């Protein structure tokens, strides 16, 4: 019997016993457990083989639930929540004592969001606690945008992957924290920097190490395929220069395939960055499943969601 199922009540039963369930969201699938249970949280870190200094995002179903986990919501955080929740925006806010240190990497802030996915919301509404959920992939590897990706990673370890279809946005949430009420972007994501700025004005971008000032650089390689991957300005030119063979390529809108490219993933033939973002991880998963010598990805335009795509591609191509 497959671990992929649409049975929300079964997910509730599993989560009530401090076990884990993979859940669909509009960004990527999450590996979810009771955010108030240290037993469940430890299982998340163990299954992902994730270092404990890298804190988790807590998922809630409504703004009313926010009060149980954070002590203060700055005015600009409220503006962003009003505009983008439910949706792919994570806010980093002052935490209440009730949130275990394990969730936040002992920080006094907690990352929180309301996901915009009917299955995730229906599940959250049936539970007496919020769900801590990192992306449902082993630490450092490509995030899952289909239930089958999660199954391939965790079959045998996980009882249930809730089916929710392909993730609509396809890359992680945009993460915004605050310093003296001023917004700081910690991670580019499914909401563009331009869209955040349109709501709150100036935003400081501080996304170079995914968190963890105590561990600089450690998270630079992330979202990475097993196959060697490079990011270049022009795929065809790169191939001429290097003479590489047995190549898989990723382009934005170009669909002409150079000779030595075995498989080409054009992320959006119409040149739509939102569509490209939605297709990015699934293209990487697919190319990584072929036995290629190299994946060559083309740099995206550096604005809007192109910036978020470039961020993921840069991290996917950092040397092993
Ligand atoms: O779209 C998403 O955000 C997905 C879905 C499942 O919701 N989740 C996700 O979780 O991407 P994860 O664990 O892969 O990334 C969470 C990131 C951490 O890497 C860390 O950078 C940041 O959230 N984070 C969490 N708590 C934080 C805090 N207190 N301060 C700063 N950054 C924090
Ligand atoms: Mg992740």
Residue with token string 């505009």: 83
Nearest to 172 by CA among 188, 148, 186: 188
Nearest to 258 by CA among 266, 269, 249: 249
Task: Place 217 in a pLDDT band, splitting at 50, 70 and 90.
Answer: very low
Taking the C-alpha atoms of residue 285 and residue 215, their distance in angstroms, rounded to an integer, is: 28
- The per-residue pLDDT for 209 is 61
Class of residue 249 by CB neighbours under 10 A (exposed 0-12, middle 13-18, buried 19+)? buried
- The domain ranges of the chain are 3-205, 229-316
Q: Is residue 212 over pLDDT 70?
A: no
Number of Cβ within 10 Å of residue 108's Cβ equals: 11
- Residue 265 sits at φ, ψ, to 5 deg, of -105, 110
Q: How far is CA 184 from the centre of its chain?
A: 18
Taking the C-alpha atoms of residue 172 and residue 174, their distance in angstroms, rounded to an integer, is: 7
Architecture of domain 3-205: Alpha-Beta Complex (3.90)
Give 6 Cα–ligand 2 centroid separation in angstroms: 23
Give the pLDDT confidence of 298-313 residue by residue, as tens digits.
Answer: 999 999 999 999 999 9
Q: What number is the average pLDDT over the span 100-104?
A: 96
Residue with token string 């919501």: 73
Q: Is residue 161 over pLDDT 90?
A: yes
Architecture of domain 229-316: 3-Layer(aba) Sandwich (3.40)
Helix 8-16 vs helix 118-126: crossing angle, to nearest 10 = 50
Give the pLDDT confidence of 270-309 residue by residue, as tens digits.
Answer: 999 999 999 999 999 999 999 999 999 999 999 999 999 9
Which amino acids bring their CB within 6 angstroms of ligand 1?
A: 25, 27-28, 30, 54-57, 88, 90, 92, 104, 107, 109-111, 115, 133-135, 172-173, 175, 177, 186-187, 210-211
Q: Is residue 218 over pLDDT 70?
A: no
Say which ligand is closest to the CA of 186: 1
Say which ligand is closest to the CA of 137: 2
Nearest to 227 by CA among 283, 137, 294: 294
Strand order in the sheet with 204-205: 4-5, 161-162, 21-23, 30-34, 131-132, 57-59, 109-113, 89-94, 174-179, 182-187, 204-205
């Amino acid at each position: 019997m497959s671990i992929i199922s649409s049975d929300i009540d079964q997910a509730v039963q599993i989560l009530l016993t401090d076990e884990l369930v993979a859940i669909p969201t509009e960004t990527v699938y999450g590996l979810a457990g009771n955010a108030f249970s240290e037993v469940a949280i430890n299982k998340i870190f163990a299954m992902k083989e994730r270092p404990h200094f890298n804190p988790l995002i807590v998922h809630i179903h409504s703004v009313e639930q926010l009060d149980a986990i954070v002590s203060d919501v700055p005015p600009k955080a409220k503006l962003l929540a009003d505009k983008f929740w439910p949706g792919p925006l994570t806010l980093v806010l002052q935490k209440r004592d009730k949130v275990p240190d394990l969730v936040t990497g002992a920080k006094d802030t907690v990352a929180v969001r309301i996901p915009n996915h009917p299955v995730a919301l229906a599940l959250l509404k049936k539970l007496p606690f919020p769900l801590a959920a990192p992306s449902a992939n082993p630490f450092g590897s490509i995030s899952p945008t289909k239930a089958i990706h999660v199954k391939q990673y965790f079959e045998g370890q996980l009882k249930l992957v809730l089916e929710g279809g392909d993730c609509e946005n396809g890359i992680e949430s945009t993460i915004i924290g605050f310093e003296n009420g001023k917004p700081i972007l910690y991670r580019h994501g499914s909401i563009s920097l331009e869209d955040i700025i349109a709501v709150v004005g100036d935003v400081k971008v501080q996304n170079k190490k995914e968190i963890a000032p105590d561990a600089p650089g450690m998270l630079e390689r992330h979202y990475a395929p097993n196959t060697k991957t490079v990011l270049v300005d022009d795929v065809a030119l790169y191939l001429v220069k290097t003479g590489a063979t047995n190549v898989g390529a990723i382009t934005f809108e170009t669909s002409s395939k150079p000779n030595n490219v075995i498989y080409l993933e054009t992320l959006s033939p119409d040149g739509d960055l939102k569509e490209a973002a939605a297709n990015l991880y699934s293209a990487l998963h697919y190319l990584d499943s072929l036995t290629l010598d190299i994946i060559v990805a083309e740099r995206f335009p550096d604005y809007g969601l192109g910036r978020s795509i470039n961020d993921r591609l840069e991290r996917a191509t950092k040397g092993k």
